[in-house]
Amino acid sequence: MNARETVRSYYDALRAGDPLAPYVADERDGDDPYVKFGVSERLVGSGRIREGLRAQTETTTDWRVESRDLRVTERDDHAWFSDAVAMAWTDAETGRRREFDTRWSGTLARRDDGWRFVGLHVSAAVDF
């Protein structure tokens, strides 16, 4: 699977409620901690990112993820991407539906088992 297919597979897993932690790279000795910025969170380190993604999967349902402008550049063992994504989900506990037009960007690293995220940023677009 190339980097573009990995990003699309992540979106599919999010929609399906499948585990997202396998998409995150393990930090290697000497690596700076990986970071994931979400709409309302900042997670530092692969362990915290995986924990946050597991909690997200357990507490949300009915995901809609619509990629509108995915752009991916792949070089040797690193790749980066950006996208405009319409997304929505339901809080499994309260039933509250959340919807956002978001901007995504991130960095992936090639590992022995495929492409994995080492950085991910999701922000909500706000009209001023």
* Domains in the chain: ranges and CATH: 3-124 (3.10.450.50)
DSSP three-state, residue 4: helix
Comparing 29 with 53, which gets the higher pLDDT? 53
pLDDT of residue 95: 96
pLDDT at 126 over 80: no
The C-alpha angle 42, 68, 57, rounded to 5 degrees, equals: 40
34, with CB counted inside 10 A (0-12, 13-18, 19+), is: buried
* Structure confidence at residue 128 as a pLDDT band (50, 70, 90): low
DSSP state of 77: T
Distance CA(125)–CA(98), nearest Å, equals: 14
pLDDT at 127 over 80: no
User: What pLDDT, in 10s, does the model give residues 4-45?
Assistant: 999 999 999 999 999 999 999 988 766 778 889 888 889 988
Q: Tokens for 54, please give them.
A: 């597991």
Q: Which of 36-50, 54-68, 86-100 has the lowest mean pLDDT?
A: 36-50
